[in-house]
């Protein structure tokens, strides 16, 4: 079935391609890319990288407004999880997710922020980013029931900084079980002195390995 071409839908598809495939805005100005699109449909107008960037900012603003409206309707508390991540080009980011139940007891989990970390990963810096995220989304600190993070020492400072807002390590710090298990397994493997083999994906631990320890 032949579909009718729509420049509006094509422009949305271009934006989605840039986002989902992590493409640079300038890719749309490459002659080979334009030629490929024109081969598929000569009527397609390939917009400039400036327009695509503007479309992206508009889409972000609309998504942010929708998220604010959804969060404002939450009848109960919000639990959060967060972790830092460094990209291949050495840019550090902090991801913050929110988890909650709506008035129909349906579970929701959404990304609240993916913020660039400027400076070191100190607990103070992380607390500032966390606070900015809540402020941007109109979430009061009293709405937060828990924050799940790993056992790094900077997270102790993070909770120290949030105490003034009523969020304490005793009541609100949920330690990441996956991180604890990962550290435990690493300690076990290190104690067994298992040799590293780049071509080996599985290693069977024998009784002899355990008895050697």
The pair phi, psi for residue 29, each rounded to 5°, is -100, -5
Percentages of the chain per state (helix, strand, coil), in multiples of 5: 50, 20, 30
Cα separation, 177 vs 180, whole angstroms:
5
Read off the pTM. Answer: 0.76
Q: Coil, helix or strand for 11?
A: helix
Residues 118-177 have pLDDT tens digits of 988 899 999 999 999 999 999 999 999 999 998 888 888 999 999 999 998 888 888 877
Residues 160-208 have pLDDT tens digits of 999 999 998 888 888 877 777 877 888 877 877 766 565 666 656 566 6
Cα separation, 175 vs 149, whole angstroms:
6
Give the pair of three-digit tokens for residue 23: 């493409």
Give the pair of three-digit tokens for residue 153: 């020492």
**Residues 56, 61, 62, 67, Cα dihedral to 10°:** 120
Q: Where are the domains of the chain?
A: 7-64, 76-175
Fold of 76-175: Nucleotidyltransferase; domain 5 (3.30.420)
């Amino acid at each position: 079935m032949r579909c009718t071409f729509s420049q509006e839908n094509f422009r949305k598809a271009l934006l989605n391609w840039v986002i989902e495939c992590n493409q640079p805005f300038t890719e749309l100005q490459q002659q080979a890319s334009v030629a490929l699109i024109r081969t598929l449909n000569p009527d397609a107008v390939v917009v400039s990288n400036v327009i695509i960037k503007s479309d992206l900012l508009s889409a972000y603003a609309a998504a942010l407004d929708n998220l604010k409206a959804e969060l404002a309707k939450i009848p109960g508390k919000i639990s959060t999880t967060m972790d830092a991540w460094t990209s291949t080009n050495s840019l550090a980011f902090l991801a913050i997710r929110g988890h909650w139940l709506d008035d129909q007891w349906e579970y929701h989990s959404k990304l609240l922020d993916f913020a660039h970390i400027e400076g070191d990963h100190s607990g103070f810096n992380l607390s500032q980013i966390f606070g900015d995220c809540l402020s941007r989304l109109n979430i009061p600190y009293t709405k937060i029931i828990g924050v799940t993070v790993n056992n790094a020492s900077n997270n102790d400072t993070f909770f120290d900084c949030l105490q003034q807002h009523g969020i304490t390590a005793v009541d609100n710090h949920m330690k990441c079980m996956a991180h604890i298990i990962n550290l435990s397994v690493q300690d076990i493997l290190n104690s067994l002195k298992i040799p590293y083999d780049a071509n080996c994906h599985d290693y069977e631990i024998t009784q002899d390995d355990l008895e050697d320890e």
